[in-house]
Chains A and B, each alone.
Chain A
Amino acid sequence: MMPSGDRSAESGEGLNRPAENASLLEVENLRVTFGGTAAVRGISLKVEKGETHCLVGESGCGKSVTSLAVMGLLARGGKREAERLAFAGTDIRNYGEREMSRLRGDRMAMIFQEPMTSLNPAYTVGSQMTEVLRRHRGTPRAQAVDRAAELLGRVGITAPGLRLGQYPHQLSGGLRQRVMIAMALMCDPELLIADEPTTALDVTVQAQILRLLAGIQKELGLGILLITHDLGVVARIADRVSVMYAGEVVESGPTAELFGDPQHPYTRGLLTCIPVPGKVKRDEPLGSIPGIVPRIPPGYVGCAFRDRCPHAHAECSGEIPRRAAGPGHEVLCTLPAGWPEGRMGRQAA
């Protein structure tokens, strides 16, 4: 057996209707558990065609698990459930490994956090790139090599012909991540999931890779689900943002709206953690949120952030309603809109 998550979901009759104007990726109430830990607790998100959707949060909040669950790549022991998990209007909840493998690499591609180890050390860059195209399209080797060289050029690699014959260990981390991106683009995917693609790289290289992703997105018009913990990145390239905390999306909305009017105390906390030139005074310390993301057992009720929240009150341990906070802007919090004036206890932003 390949290590993969059990795909036991409720039957999806009637939901399997590919629609012309369907979202590229629709996730509704996705849950992932690993034994006694609920890694993802009912998150919903949409990625539209040609849109960049950023999933933000601290390490351990379930961002990566979410992306792996969407791709059907959960590690062994991971159990996935969802009310809807649709790709281009088609429900893929009950897809087996074989059906998923036809989608993966072809219509939905993924790049990972660890460029150093994500390429197979035993094969050349060219061999690893061309096998995607050969697998999904049956393209002859020579043509596949041409395509690989073209894409390496597009992701900014000089002398693609030379690189194709090299092994991963002969490339730097930045180059390997470019190779990963080029490899993901081999079949012209509609959706690209990028799981913290810049975390393991040098700061200067990080910026290059992000610029590259943004450029490709504009050029090819693909939908990107970008997972990151870096709000600076989000501000620059996201169309929509979902903020995750302890396996839940606590706030989501269009980038400008969410950054302009953050509603959840956690979002506000995150925003105080990024230095903004001019806004933060020189000697003033950057904000930080005390504590760590807790491990949540299944069946947990209430706001998971309440132990770290400076505004927590009695209602926070009950069911939390999801309320609208603006156009396309939702927040999962008991505090009323505009709470800093209303019932704020201490300073927030």
Chain B
Amino acid sequence: MVKFLLRRLTVAVLVALTVLTLSFLLTRLSGDLAISIAGPSATAQDVEIIRQAYGLNRPVYVQYLDWLFRAVQGDFGDSYFFRDRVSNLIGARLPITMTLGLVGLGLALIVALPLGIIAAVRENTWLDRTVMMVALVGQAMPSFWLGLILMVWLGLNLGLLPISGTGGPEYYVMPGIVLAFSAIPSLMRLTRSGMIEALSSDYIRTARAKGLSRLSILVKHGFRNAAIPVVSIAAVQLGFMLGGSIVIETVFAMHGVGYLAWESISKNDYPVVQAVVLVLALIYIALTLLADLLNAVLDPRLRTA
């Protein structure tokens, strides 16, 4: 177990370093970053000034090591556009994105788990097929389009929710629903297949032979075992949601890190873009690590091995 964790941790650190390097390389893709920063209307002199100011005249490996060294300490430099520390910007925006992600995941679980369980219990009935159709529909729904439709329908026509912006809890509902939609199909399919497997197992027959209540059979004995893979997928899905927050936050004008990234891309503010890519990737790595830990806690075969 300790060995497994150490190995897992080593991989996580290596992946994190790789992502650090990639996010540095990302901004060097265009060849000359100074020209990109200066924008199309800048003169050669402006570009030269920018090059000096941001240290872009140094050799690339010096720039890389400097960036790496600072990034590890949580220093992502200054934003060109917002005239603030990048770390401050991200620190201020991250709670909004995290809240949104958790709302989305929460909604997804509330819908996906019961539906997945019901579909499994009623396997091969019209109910099961309906649930699976819902999964297919959810998979095919473009999230930004669904967002717009909800804005028109719930926001304008019914006037139930604020159409867009950042604010109190009500502002998280529509984007949360849209995010949940993207995670529901895979969570539901996995719950269903896990439950079908669990329900056909010998230990469920034992539980029934013991005369346990239906709830205990389905949830305590069935879902407990089906939940193990669901937990890791839920963590991964949260990572994907945060990574995809740029689309949802832009649609709903929510000022989280995704919106920050989009603004920064449009303003050629590369230190911010680079930092957001890095932060989201690191969160994803942390989440997968967390999922593995949770798995080990949930599955005694892993824990005591």
Contact = CB atoms under 8 A, between A and B. Distances in A.
Contacts of A169: 300-301, 304
Given A1-B121, A117-B202, A110 B224 contact: no
B206 interface: yes
A122 B225 contact: yes
A124 B211 CA distance: 18
Which among B213, B217, B299, B300 has the highest number of chain A CB atoms within 10 Å? B300
B283 interface: no
B202 A121 contact: no
A120 B221 CA distance: 7
B212 A110 contact: no
A121 B205 CA distance: 14
Contacts of A17: none
Interface stretch (A98-106, A293-301, A302-310, A336-344): A98-106
B221 A104 contact: no
Nearest to A114: B202
A167 B216 contact: no
A184 to B, nearest CB: 8
A100 B211 CA distance: 7
B87 to A, nearest CB: 43
A101 B221 contact: no
Contacts of B216: 131, 135
Given A114-B202, A120-B203, A169-B301, A131 B217 contact: no
A122 B299 contact: yes
Interface residues of A, number: 34
Interface in A1-35: 1-3
Interface residues on B, range: 20 to 34
Given A1-B122, A167-B300, A120 B206 contact: yes
B211 A118 contact: no
Contacts of B304: 167, 169-170
Nearest to B298: A122
B207 interface: yes
Nearest to B127: A1
B129 interface: no
19 contacts: A2-B214, A73-B205, A101-B208, A101-B211, A101-B212, A102-B211, A105-B210, A105-B211, A106-B211, A112-B205, A114-B202, A117-B201, A118-B205, A118-B206, A119-B206, A120-B206, A131-B212, A135-B213, A180-B206
Interface of A: 1-3, 71, 73, 97, 100-106, 109-110, 112, 114, 117-124, 131-132, 135-136, 167, 169-170, 180, 183
4 closest Cβ pairs, A-B complex: A105-B211, A104-B211, A105-B210, A117-B202
